[in-house]
């Protein structure tokens, strides 16, 4: 049956776990230039501590059980295996909410958020049924079926997923790549999507702005706010975009290392989590995310999907549904980069950045309830 949905459990074979531990135990460590901190990448002491914890202290089986506590499924859409969590709320007034992670992330990003959405402590707080797919090429939405899996195609797959699940009305939420996918779903399925809620932060907004044609020409360096945006755009081009340049041009080449070396994969992801957060992310949660990449060999396939997006112009139709923005680590720059029409939901939080579901899940859950509650 083409629409078939199969129950799924994560069950990593023990020999895969033993192999990971052996690779970490026999890792070859480089020297580093003293006194540079994070300016040249992940410091040796930090990566050693993470790797040692991953090898001897981190309990993958406990995290596997934690993930398996949520109902998981797979289905095939457009020739691609799609893995997703579907966590129903006990509340009869719950809103179906499709939430999409970004890069370098996975559904593990939402482990602190799901219960807050499905079972809020306050009896009068809006509840949600949560549907959290793994993007094509990420974690258990692998192997990648072929080229072409940019955000537009992923969004079309999400529309089909929600049809298969029988939802006539639902909301969408995401950050980073997930924000683009969520906005495109709203444009493709506006008759069923009741609202689109996305998260961003000043650094991410400025980074995205570097890819918007003509954005720099619209900014005035004499204006203090515009000057800050231009400086961040320039810093991203010079110092922050190397990971993206490699994956946008040679995903196959970097993929060999991301699949074969747990140290490279760990450094690749840990660097971004460090740079893109200002609130602590628990090391076990970080390593759960990295482990999903490792056990599914998805370092390679996620690189290919970033390549696809860099070479795609498929953004889908614009959304006409109610839109909400939650800005974490807010400052005056984001409103300049993201102009919104009057009446758009706009929330600002002083702390948190790129991964609010991991950094500030209670604040994010509250904002989702504030936005979607009146749309129920």
CA–CA separation, 169 and 180 (whole Å): 20
304 is an active site residue: no
Could you say which of 83, 129, 304, 354 is catalytic?
354
State the CB neighbour count (10 A cutoff) for residue 301: 26
* The two three-digit tokens of residue 293, written as one number: 């990449």
243 is an active site residue: no
CA–CA distance from 232 to each of 203, 207, 328 (Å)?
7, 7, 17
Please say whether the beta carbons of 262 and 228 come within 8 A. no
CA–CA distance from 117 to each of 96, 98, 131 (Å)?
10, 12, 11
- H or E segment and range at residue 258: helix 251-260
Residue among 142, 212, 197 at smallest CA distance from 321: 197
Could you say which of 103, 140, 170, 307 is catalytic?
307
DSSP letters spanning 304-332: HHHHHHHT-----SPP-S-EEEEEES--T
78 is an active site residue: no
Q: CA neighbours within 13 Å on the CB side: how many for 90?
A: 6
* The two three-digit tokens of residue 95, written as one number: 């809103």
Could you say which of 115, 176, 189, 284 is catalytic?
176
Annotated active-site positions, please? 176, 307, 354
């Amino acid at each position: 049956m083409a629409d078939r949905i199969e129950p799924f459990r994560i069950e990593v074979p023990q020999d895969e776990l033993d192999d990971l531990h052996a690779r970490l135990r026999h890792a070859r460590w480089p020297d580093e230039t003293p006194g540079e901190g994070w300016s040249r990448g992940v410091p040796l002491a930090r990566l050693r501590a993470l790797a040692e914890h991953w090898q001897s202290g981190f309990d993958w089986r406990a995290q596997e059980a934690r993930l398996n506590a949520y109902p998981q499924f797979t289905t095939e859409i457009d020739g691609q295996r799609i893995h997703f969590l579907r966590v129903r709320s006990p509340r009869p007034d719950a809103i179906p909410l499709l939430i999409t992670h970004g890069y370098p992330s996975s559904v593990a990003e939402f482990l602190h958020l799901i219960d807050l959405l499905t079972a809020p402590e306050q009896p009068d707080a809006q509840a949600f049924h949560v549907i959290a797919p793994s993007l094509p090429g990420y974690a258990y939405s692998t192997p990648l079926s072929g080229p072409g899996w940019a955000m537009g195609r992923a969004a079309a797959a999400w529309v089909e997923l929600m049809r298969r699940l029988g939802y006539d009305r639902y909301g969408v939420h995401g950050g980073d790549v997930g924000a683009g996918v969520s906005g495109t779903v709203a444009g493709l399925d506006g008759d069923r999507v009741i609202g689109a809620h996305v998260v961003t932060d000043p650094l991410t907004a400025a980074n995205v702005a570097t890819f918007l044609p003509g954005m720099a020409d619209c900014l005035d360096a004499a204006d203090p706010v515009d000057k800050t945006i231009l400086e961040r755009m320039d810093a991203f081009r010079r110092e922050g975009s190397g990971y993206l340049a490699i994956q946008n041009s040679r995903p196959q080449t970097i993929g060999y290392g991301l699949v074969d070396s747990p140290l490279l994969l760990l450094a690749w992801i840990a660097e971004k989590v460090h740079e893109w957060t200002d609130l602590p992310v628990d090391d076990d949660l970080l390593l759960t995310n990295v482990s999903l990449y490792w056990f599914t060999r998805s370092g390679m396939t996620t690189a290919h999907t970033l390549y696809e997006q860099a070479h795609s112009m498929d953004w889908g139709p614009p959304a006409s549904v109610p839109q909400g923005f939650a800005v974490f680590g807010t400052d005056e720059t984001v409103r300049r980069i993201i102009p919104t029409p009057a009446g758009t939901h706009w929330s600002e939080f002083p702390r948190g950045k790129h991964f609010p579901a991991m950094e500030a899940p209670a604040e994010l859950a509250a904002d989702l309830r504030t936005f979607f509650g009146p749309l129920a």
